[in-house]
Structure 1
Amino acid sequence: MSETTTPAVKSSPAHPLVLVVAAAGDQRQAIHNALDATGFAVCEAASGEEGVARAAELHPDLVLLAAEFPESDGTDLCRKLREGLTSSQIPILVMTSGADPRAIEGALGAGASDFVTTPLDTALLAPRLRNLLRTSGNLARLRESESQLNHAQRLARLGSWEWSATAEGLELSLEGARLLDLGKQQIPVEALLAQVDPADRPRVEKAFDQARQEGKPFALDYRVQLANGTLRYLHTQGVVGEVGNGGQFALSGTIQDISERRRAEEKIHYLAHYDPLTGLPNRLLFNEQLVYILSYARRKRHQLALLFLDLDRFKTINESLGHRAGDELLRQVAERLKEATRKTDFVARQARDEFPQAIARLGGDEFSIWLPDIHHVQDVMKVLRRVHQVLARPFSLEGQEVFISSSIGIALYPNDGNDVESLLKNADTAMRHAKQEGRDTYRFYSGAMNSAARRLLTMENSLHRALERNELLLYYQPQLDLASGTICGAETLMRWHQQGKDLIMPGEFIPLAEESGLIVQLGEWALHAACNQAQCWQDEGLPQLQIAVNLSSRQFWKEHLATSVARVLAETGLDPRWLHLELTENILMQNRVGTLATLNFLQELGVGIALDDFGTGLFSLSHLKQFPLNDLKIDRSFIRDLHLLKESGLIVKAIINMGHSLGFRVVAEGVEHQEQLAILRQEGCDCAQGFLIGKPMPAEEFARFLRSWRPDALPAPLRPADKAKASTSAS
């Protein structure tokens, strides 16, 4: 094999490089001379092996290949050259005598672009090569455009399609086929329709039929189920053109994956209409649903009930256990309300089909439930009983068992309102009355509630200014030491004296203060005023007394309570041992770890802690042992019938013994009869408080009461001979 000695040449736009691969030297030379004279750059290779090497080295713009080589097969050589070229678009022109058509077909199949017969007409060779290069360039640019289009379609998740009367099916672009998860670009229309969601298929079929039969363009969204189970949202547009003289329609259009957009739209819709914490409809969606339900009830002449539910003492849980626990409680409440309002029991069929949930979270700890197609009040009562049952079970929060109840207001359509706004307002009003009447209950709306609601709103507004106007007063109710007969303490009770109005009792305004958050400010004022008054009495030479101040749950869980108490004691100069703070069972039960830490801090200050209204909640002996308490106050409900019912006497005796066994001082509240006092003394109760000893009094009157009090002002303890008589009266 001989090698040529063609110097190294380079390609340029003005001088395309042609690689001539031929065994015959005179043939190469003739081609070289002809092409060189017409502006081509030429390099030569005398063998197939050399040609493959030169192609890889020089990257020619065109290869002129002799089909016949003594040492190699032309078809095989053509394949090797094509594999070695940097681009599949570089033309390979095969020179052949034309004697063997099968060899020509083999060369074309192996990668040749075209062929030319020998002997060559060198005068026509240059124009032919330039045309071949031009065609090759156009083809390269076309394929580059197609590549860019495919890339752009893939980025946009946008494919294209065509469908004509003469075609066997849909012709899809690469991206169109990919969007449908198909391995080929030509599919029968039935294959596409088979993937369309059954609920959307009639619309898609109708759009294609109308386009083909009537020439009607279309644009529609639909869902497809891919072979791998993925659900994809597609948007397809189609336009119509005519094919031939027969007037048959041909369709073309685009197909785009809009799944992400639809998911984003659904998420936006969800966030706008659903509560992300509980998954329930929010106020906006609830109102929209209620408008529809009211329209439905109006047409069908049905009665509808709207329940407005508010959790009792939710703020206490939120403040004691933290917002994370509060959020978890709301989630659990939502699940239980769904359990209590099983839609198959009471929701009208049409409403049930369109609105699967009849519950909404309106905000905070407020929930609402609509009950359409109510025939009797008993239908509402059935749901109310279920709600009460599911909420009565303990909730597990942060490893603790928490109990919660709800206050519910009910408004009925059409009796209590004909529109959403009035029904919600009236149900809310009824709920507030339920709260004022003890919580954990329900109330149906009545017209009289409207005027009461307006009065409460006026009172709440006035309460905001009560401190500024010095309208709040502290009254003091004496506590009697049953052993010595002396006054040992006083409980502070708040009163509100609005200018020009009668005295307002705490039962009327304290619930408003708790609901509005003003209770914290009122509690801090009461603490400071009570400590200051106790110190003033001591400075005046009156007996030293333990002053009991009630703490609300919100005040107790206020940050730095112990520091606040220490500051008040320092400012007033009162010795901490003369201050007792009264807490309810609910406060102690909410967050035992946090409660214990706060109580220990207060005990270190020297402040006494009293458990108020003992026996009315879920507190047990095991609970009592956990907390550093000083006083146990027996609730007045046990004292009321102490001298009338034997059972009451047994309960009080058990509480006194239990309190003493734990080292507590026991105080009885609500003592109004001599017989009650006698029994308490007999059972060893330490202190008593009630109207028999003294009513709540303003500070000046209480000071006069202290000065005039004598230990023998009340009957002495029973003699042994009288015990049987007292015991008989208790039974």
Structure 2
Amino acid sequence: MALMSGNRGAAVAALQPGAAASQFSWRRSAQSPFIVVASRGLEWVDAPMREGSRKVWTLLGVLSLCLLLAVGGMLRVLRHQEGLFVALSVANRDKHTLIDQLEQEKAKALELAANDHLTGLHNRRMFNELVASHLALARRSRKFYALMYLDLDRFKAINDTLGHHVGDLLLQAVGQRLRQLLRSSDIIARMGGDEFAVLVTGMDAMADMDALAAKLIEQLSQPYDGLEGHSLQVTPSIGVAFFPRDGHDVTLLCRNADAAMYASKRAGRGRFSYYDATASADSARSYALERQLPRAVADRQLVLHFQPKVRLHDCRIMGFEALVRWQHPDYGLIYPGEFIAAAEVTGAIRALGDWVLQACCEQAAAWRGQGLEPVPIAFNVSPVQLRDGAFAERLAAHIAQHGIEAGDLSMEITESCLLEPRALALSVLEQVRAMGVSIGLDDFGTGFSSLSQIKDLPIDTLKLDRSFVNDIRSSSEAGVIVTSVITLAHNLKMRVVAEGVELMDQLVYLKTAGCDEAQGYFLSRPVGSHAAEDLLRAGYLYPA
């Protein structure tokens, strides 16, 4: 073989023609003429390498697959992290938006808590806080400070006639005018309704208040145009209290300025007044009662006392007159003489009268519910109520609501109820009488009326004024008048009730003269509902 030259060697070749290639090696022996040849097929030789290569490629494939899976997992994690980041960004943006909204709402809430929603001025709470802080500084100042209360005269009439919307526009215009007339250092507030308050700060002298108050009266009394097509003119009443002369704190200054403002109203309105520390306690009490009466009606601080009407020929109780009392939390029991006039001035008389009417109906229903024989409960009606064309309808509604009879009530009016508009009063009286409610004319003889003037009125009972009863013993003329009135009233088919009977002599004279009924302290003082119930159960009331 040509390939086997040399003593030894190796080669890859086909040992025979047409045979597969093999790898062989040879060696020539020096001691013999032979050549030793060893061969293996290439497939056998390459088998370990192919097996190793296969394992390597398998490992590489597995590693590649693992790498791909790891890369895929990382991509998925990254996408998830990206989603979380986007969600976090959105949540963070929403959070900031919510924070901004909360800050805006907080600012609005603070503004609403500090300012009056209608005029934009400070409200009562913020005014008190600001005034308290200013007064703390004023104690170390040589300047003068004044607290001013301002109320619009007859503002209620504007609301009632033109509507609350026009009234609100007027209040806004007044608030704007106050801003223009006062300094930025002064504190202006709307205290409620048509009442404003101003703390005037840093005045050089108390006398400066004269010019400022006069200017406010003049400017605020100028017409207000463009209020829903209306041009309105109102006047303010102003009360002024100085710090520290009239009070060392906000509460006392406000109270005294308020009292001074009502002094302006009593003096004729459209003016200003300074608080007078020497005013009598009665005046201060009157101011307080006038202001607190509307709340007393709403808070049911009123109570009814009942004075029996006794038939003279047999002393049987024929009815009760309901008399209102005010159970004041500070002043105790207050009689109507102290607050009825104030109620008529302030307009609270309508609410007061309606409360009395409802309370009478409740009492009559309670007595019926206890099985007591009912007697009429008389309630007094003011001229203001009688001028209300809907009064009879409200009366009928109360009667129906409480399930009582019209005869359980009796209505008493005074001669002032028959003044103008007389036709309206007569119409209301006719409606009430047609319902079955009896009508009495109270305090007869003290006014303009005579029997000839009232003969055509729908009246069932005349009540002799106590002034005639008091004079019976001392004046023969009074006795003649009483006897004549009783006789003429009977001829007109009216009953006569004498009020204010305090002595046995008076009672005897009235019975002799033919008077039908009597009431007064000699028979019984006005009593509470429980004592009245006991009297009603007894049925008769004999003089002691």
TM-score by length of 1: 0.37
Higher relative contact order (CA 8 A, sep 6+): 2
TM-score by length of 2: 0.49
